[in-house]
Structure formats: C-alpha cells, structure tokens
Structure 1
Amino acid sequence: MKIGICQYSPAWENPHASIEKINFLMKDYENVDLLIFPEMTLTGFTMKSKILAEEIDGISFQFFMNIAQKLKTNIFFGVIEKDDDKIYNSLIHVDQNGLIIARYRKIHPFSLADEDKNYSAGNEFIITKINQVKFALSICYDLRFPELYRFYAKKGIDVIINIANWPVKRIEHYTTLLKARAIENQCFAIGVNRIGKDGNGFEHTGASSVYNPLGKEIFSAENKEGIFVTEIDINEVDKTRKDLPFLNDMKLV
C-alpha cells in the first residue's frame, strides 16, 4: 500500500491560506492509496474552537472531499468539528469518491493546553478500512495512553494512525511512543506531524514517521515540508503475529 504523508506548516488560524500552501505542495503529487494530513490540518492546534469550528459544509470538509474525489484517493485530515452544541478535535476519513467514511473524535484532550476546556472528549475508538486493511484512528496526545491501542489490537487492526501537532521540545517522546505502539500491537504505526512555529510560539520539526510491526523505522522526515511517499507491506502484520503470537497472551484487555 502506498501512503502519502503531508508534513507542512499550517497558516495559523487561517484555513484559506493553509489551502493555498497545500495546493502548492500538491503540484508534485503522485498517486497514492492514502494521503494523510496533520492534526487540525488547516488551522493549527488552536483553542479558538468556537470561532473556527465547522460542520460538514465547512471549508475543511469541502476542500478535502473535493481533493479526494479529484485525485481518486483516500484522505485522512484533521478538523475542528461542530456537532450540535459540542465541538471536537476530529480526524476524518474521506474515500476516493469524496464521501465521509469515518470520523474519530479525540478521546484525550490535552489538558496542559486547556484543550479539555475548549473541546469535548470523544468516547469511542474508530476503525476504518481501505481495501480490507484496518486502520486505527488517533490524534496526538492519545499516543500517551497505550490502553486505547490495546483495544484496537484486540480488534485485529493493521495500521495505527496518529495525526499530531507535537512540539519539538518533546519530539523524542512522539517517535518513541509511535515505535512502542507498533511493537506492542504488532502492526504498522504512522505518525503525521506538522512543522513550523504555531501562534502560541511552539516550534515543530515534524519527525513524521512510519514503523513496521517489529518497530523498525521505514520512513522519517524532519524539518522538511512536502508530501512524502512511502510504501507498507500489510502482509508483514500477519507474518509478525504468526511468528511471534504475543497478542494471544494479553490478559487484562
């Protein structure tokens, strides 16, 4: 499976300017099965949720639905999602026909940045499929809570996805946790992080990465903006689990 990873610096709280950046990056686009963007893709990790929240007719939804249909590819993107009187930090899966297939709402808001005061917490884990490959969806801070991914592993997922705005001061935590989630759940782990300085003054170097089911790094990009293409062999998941059937010995999940 061919994966496109968009690592870029969003225009702070400015979806229209971010769209211009993405359109520029897309000039060198090559066909992939899945294109993945960072957390809160068009705004950056902002607490102005009430101002920037969107429903399905919002700018983020319409932009990525149109791109997916035009490119005939699946897209995972991040958005500030409004649903009735609640606002969520969400990851949306749009398929090659531009249809919304799944939406994951971040279960663990980052309280250190008051995310819990500005966003509602999701309450369910979400698995989505592309050509029968099972993807487990998560966002940034979720990565620190391994119990979420154990539930995913019990469901036989093939790939963990984590989209993020993870700052450089703790970037080793990000890559280490991604690697650990891959090893302990014997699946691929893909992290897509932003780069650049956000409106709160935090620096980001990306370090978007892909780890195989044995924890080997097969892709990483740091301090570079672009759409990077890598390939994963899903057959490695079954092989690893058959050769090393550790998941069968889980007792507490």
Structure 2
Amino acid sequence: MNDKLKIGLVQYSPVWENKSLSKEKINNLVHETNVLDLIIFPEMTLTGFTMKSKAFSEELNEETHLFFSTIAKRKKCAVMYGVIEKGKRKIFNTLVHLNNQGKIISTYRKVHPFSYSKEDIYFGKGKEIVITKVKGIKIGLSICYDLRFPELYRLYAKEKVDMIIDIANWPDTRIEHWRTLLKARAIENQCYAIGVNRVGDDPKLHYNGFSSVFDPMGKEIV
C-alpha cells in the first residue's frame, strides 16, 4: 500500500441508549478534527452496546444515516459508523461506510454476534465479508467479537486487502485480548489492522479505549 490515507479514530463515550445526546458529543468532537480522508466511529455508535434491538433499530436511510451523512459532507471525507439496522426480517449490528458526499458505499453485518451477552438472540448474523475502498485502498470490515475468529480475516487476506478495520465496544477487563488480537490479525494477514474502541461506562461494563493501528509487521503505529 503506497498511497497515504489520513484517518481519524473517534474514541468517545456514547450516552447510554440516547442518540440525541450522543450526537451532541460527536458534533463537538468532529468540529475539532483536521482534514481527513476517513473518520471511523465505534460499534453501535449512538447507543452503546445495547440489547434493546427492537427499540433502537432503524432502516439505513433514517436518523443515524442522516446524521453521519451530514458529517461526511461537512468534513468532506468518508465516514464509518455502527448502527442497529432494521432488516426485512431481522435486526443486525451493522457497520456503514459513507463516501465524502454522504452516500452509502458499503454495509457490513456482524458475522459473529457476542453470545455471552445474548447478542445472538437479539441480532441476526451477517453472512458475508465486505470489502470496500477509500481512495483506492482495499479495506475489509469487521465488528468487535469478529476479531476472535481468524478464519474471517483469511478470507480478506485472500482478496489481498490493504487493511482491516474492526469497530468495537471492547471492555477493559479483556483489553489485552483486543490489543493482542489486532496485532495478530495484522501479522498473519500481512496488512494494516485498525481497531476503534469506545471509552466510558455502560450499566455493566467499563471501556478504556486503546484504539490502535498495527502495520503488517505487528508494529503499533498509533
């Protein structure tokens, strides 16, 4: 990968199950950003990792999309965010990629719901990998618990992606797993690995971030 990509990792504390207040926080944070090619937000960006899937689900052209589409157009850069997507038959934990005009380019549905929190009961499972591009750079998408399943990333490696991105709500009690797994995915697939995690608290867990970028040699560069 020879081209340079300026990426902003938004490591913030969403207001639990409150989209409006979370949007206020994000607007304040994004206002301070410099010129970027891509801004990446954590999993379930506006709600936190809630299992109230029916209460907070929405179609991909509704509130959350309109908010991040406005950011993409205002900052003139691509955006990736997490949303609780209302599908035709099921609800999904989804990563959305918008271009710098606020249009949806790709959507990835989490393939491995976190069964220990019963996510697999309240959310459907995605069925396929998704490769997207920013400035011609090939990117494989994933969400949180997916990181523990190396076979998913081998599929990306076979497609010769330049980087993989994982957005997450990964708690501090297992943060060394997060860092180790990100590094391993970079080394074993010989690509950059970017992890964007949240900070703060929800009713059950504490999050301490450690959003990171690892190069193909396993060196942490951010």
Give the C-alpha shift of residue 57 in structure 1. 3.1
Q: What is the distance in 2 between the residues matched to 1:190 and 1:56? A: 24
Question: Greater CA deviation, 181-190 or 49-58?
Answer: 49-58
Aligned partner of 2:117 among 113, 116, 129 = 113
After TM superposition, give the deviation of residue 85 of structure 1 in Å.
2.3
Aligned AA for 1:75?
Answer: V
Counterpart-to-counterpart distance in 2, 1:117 and 1:18 = 26
Percent sequence identity is 58
Deviation at 1:83, TM superposition (A): 1.2
Q: Give the equivalent residue in structure 1 for 2:20.
A: 16
Matching residue of 1:66: 70
| Residue matched to 1:208 | 211
Question: Hey, what's the Cα distance between the residues in 2 that align with 1:27 and 1:138?
Answer: 27
CA-CA distance at 1:24 after TM superposition: 1.2
Structure 2: segments with no counterpart, 5+ residues: none
Structure number with higher relative contact order (C-alpha < 8 Å, ≥ 6 residues apart): 1
| Partner deviation per Cα, 1:32-54 (whole Å, 9 max, x = no partner) | 11100000000000000000001
**Pairing of 1:1-253 with structure 2 (within 5 A):** 1-199=5-203, 201-219=204-222
Instruction: Using the TM superposition, give the Cα deviation of residue 195 of structure 1 relative to its aligned residue in structure 2, in angstroms.
Output: 0.3
Amino acid at match of 2:37: D
- Residue segments in structure 1 that go unaligned for 5+ positions in a row: 220-253
SS in 2 for 1:128: strand
Structure 2 CA distance, aligned partners of 1:195 and 1:58?
26
TM superposition score normalised by structure 2 = 0.97
Q: Runs ≥4 in structure 1, deviation > 3 angstroms?
A: none
Conserved 8 A contact 1:15-1:59 = no
CA deviation vs aligned residue, 1:189-216 (integer Å, no higher than 9, x gap): 00000000113x2000000000001000
User: 1:56 offset after TM fit, Å?
Assistant: 2.3
CA distance in 1 between counterparts of 2:30 and 2:82 reads 17
What code does the residue aligned with 1:193 have?
N
- Secondary structure at the aligned position of 1:84 is classed as coil
TM-score (norm 1): 0.85
Map Cα deviations across residues 125-148 of structure 1 (whole Å, 9 max, x no partner): 000011210000000000000000
1:58 shift after superposition: 2.1
Output the aligned Cα RMSD.
0.7
Give the structure with the larger strand fraction: 1
Q: C-alpha distance in 1, partners of 2:19/2:116?
A: 25
Aligned residues: 218
What secondary structure is seen at the aligned counterpart in 2 of 1:181? helix
Whole-Å Cα distance in 2 between the matches of residues 18 and 157 of structure 1?
Answer: 32
What secondary structure does 1:218 align onto?
coil
Q: Which has the larger radius of gyration?
A: 1
